[in-house]
Chains A and B, each alone.
Chain A
Amino acid sequence: MTELSPKPISKPLFELSIAEAGQMIRSGEVTSKDLTEDALSRIESLDGQLDSFITVTGDRARADAEKADADFAAGIDKGPMQGIPYALKDIYMTSGILSTCHSKLLVDNVPDHDSVVGTKLAEAGGVLLGKTATHEFAYGGPSFDLPFPPARNPWNRDCMPGGSSSGSGAAVAAGLCRMAMGSDTGGSIRGPASYCGTAGHKPTYGLVSRRGVFPLSFTLDHAGPLAWTVGDCAATMQVIQGFDPLDPASANVPEIDFLSGLGDGVEGMKFAVPRDFFDGKPGMDPEMLAAFDASIEKLKALGATVDVVKLPDFELFNATGRIILTAEAFGIHEKDLIERPLDFGQYAMMRMYAGAGLTAMDLVQALRARRVLSKAVNKSVLGSYDAIITALAFTTAPRFDEMSRDEPPSYTLQSMPFNVTGNPALAMPTGLSSDGLPLSLQIVGRPFEDAKVLQIGEALEKATGLIATRPPLAA
């Protein structure tokens, strides 16, 4: 055998990480076309059980793949996303492609522009597979009264995948794509990541442009990736980060190197655990807590030190976020709420209608609280620690048949505090429960230290080894 002979592919194409797939494309073992046809075939055969996609853009994907392969053949290398198939949550506007926000109000909406994130991924040679299901306007759901069905959890189709980036979480976990973009206003990346057993990164507020992503709450919205591995989140972040002068919230900071620190581990790092947030709280699943504690022990074994710390009460963060979110969402949708309220699904309509009773004083008090709480996290705790490690979901994915039909479901997630503060936060799996559903935690870093958050997550991911396990449906 000569040195130039390609190595045999040792696992199915859908199991390749972005880095592995990129390496194999560059060595000529596979093409972007191979990866794309494999993904489209998996969507065709599996998504009827998941409803994770609203629109599949097969022609666009094949054209993107052909371009990526041609660029590689011409010696043009645009970085880690070149030739990699991905999906966008359907609140990301896509030029010439249906962009519905999973709502009757936009059921025929075909924009003439792309989101900044979509543009960056396209310019980096990514391959757009399609648009994924969400809760209506990233807010109301999962719902059965919308133009498209809700996505289902590939670990158990009777369970919710979480939301609002529900289709993105389900598609990634089922191996339909390696990465799908989500958005996170109160936990909408991290919730689906938690329930579907993927990684999900909510970047620092302002690090990724929100322009062209339909807003839910201007000051709480974050755009970020869900991916099967932490490294895949890093590869995506490398491409989608960056200052956007036309996004008023965009931060004019130096670009971050997301890739070189992966593999550097956590030795010598100091972590803070706010146990009061979750330990002993009603509804906390003992298996979730046990997996959390086991992960902490793994981080200690990797050379980190861990202290228990106190943060302000979780309910203060939650109240602050909920009031701001509800007020801003009402402001965005006010005209339609007045003129065509019944064109919204029941849950989104009810949540937004409740905001009609908020006063200007309520909002101002919440905005003042937000600054105080952000200081408490960033000065009092992260001034002395590399990261906060805390619980995310109290339970595994809830079942659809546990939903009330009369009122919107609520998830027991502790994600909102870091929408309020804007810190980078990574959700990642910590194991599987006795009934085969993913368990999770979240890692929260200092502002713009997103790369360190992913470095910590990657170290823990290697230590837990869960990424080798796929939902049975996806195998």
Chain B
Amino acid sequence: MTSTTNLTDEYIAAAARAGLTVPEDRLDGIVRLYSELRSMSSLLRSMNLTAADEPANIYTFDPILRSE
């Protein structure tokens, strides 16, 4: 399990890569929201998806061509 400190460091690094400046007074709250997202992502990885389970928004030509 990732500790709060590690999670905060992980988030700060990700935010920096994204070019964000995180206000100090909002950091704890943002990390709590980020922690929820990490838990959700872990939950989805328990679904045992197979290689045949393609993404829902798989690339298709029709909507692209018709919007030209």
Contacts and interface: CB of A to CB of B under 8 A. Distances in A.
B24 interface: no
A342 interface: yes
B10 A357 contact: yes
B56 A368 contact: yes
Interface string B17-51: 11111110010111011101111110111010100
Given A318-B40, A319-B43, A356-B18, A342 B54 contact: no
A365 B30 contact: no
Contacts, number: 112
B40 A370 contact: no
A320 B57 contact: no
Interface centre among A350, A353, A407 (most CB of B within 10 A): A353
Count class of interface residues, chain B:
35 or more
A320 B56 CA distance: 11
Interface in A339-397: 341-342, 346, 349-351, 353-358, 362, 364-372, 374
Contacts of B26: 346, 349-350, 353
B26 to A, nearest CB: 6
A159 to B, nearest CB: 23
Interface string A301-334: 0000000000000011011101100100000001
A353 B66 contact: no
Contacts of B63: 248-250
A334 B19 CA distance: 9
B48 to A, nearest CB: 10
Interface string A18-31: 00000000000000
B40 A353 contact: no
B53 A371 contact: yes
A337 interface: yes
Given A246-B67, A322-B37, A356-B15, A365 B54 contact: no
A369 B17 CA distance: 27
A112 interface: no
Nearest to B35: A354
A322 B40 contact: yes
B33 A351 contact: yes
A407 B33 contact: yes
Given A219-B56, A248-B67, A356 B40 contact: no
Contacts of B57: 219, 367
B47 A369 contact: yes
A8 interface: no
B1 interface: no
A368 B49 CA distance: 8
A326 B23 CA distance: 19
A407 B33 CA distance: 9
B6 to A, nearest CB: 12
A406 interface: yes
Nearest to A357: B14
Contacts of A353: 15, 20, 22, 26, 30, 33
Contacts of A366: 41, 44
Interface in A215-262: 219, 245-250
Contacts of A334: 18
Given A353-B26, A365-B44, 12 more contacts: A245-B66, A249-B63, A322-B40, A350-B26, A353-B22, A353-B30, A353-B33, A357-B38, A364-B55, A367-B55, A406-B29, A407-B29
Interface of A: 219, 245-250, 315-316, 318-320, 322-323, 326, 334, 337-338, 341-342, 346, 349-351, 353-358, 362, 364-372, 374, 406-408
16 contacts: A248-B63, A323-B44, A326-B37, A337-B20, A350-B29, A353-B15, A354-B37, A356-B11, A356-B17, A365-B44, A366-B41, A368-B55, A370-B55, A371-B54, A407-B29, A408-B33
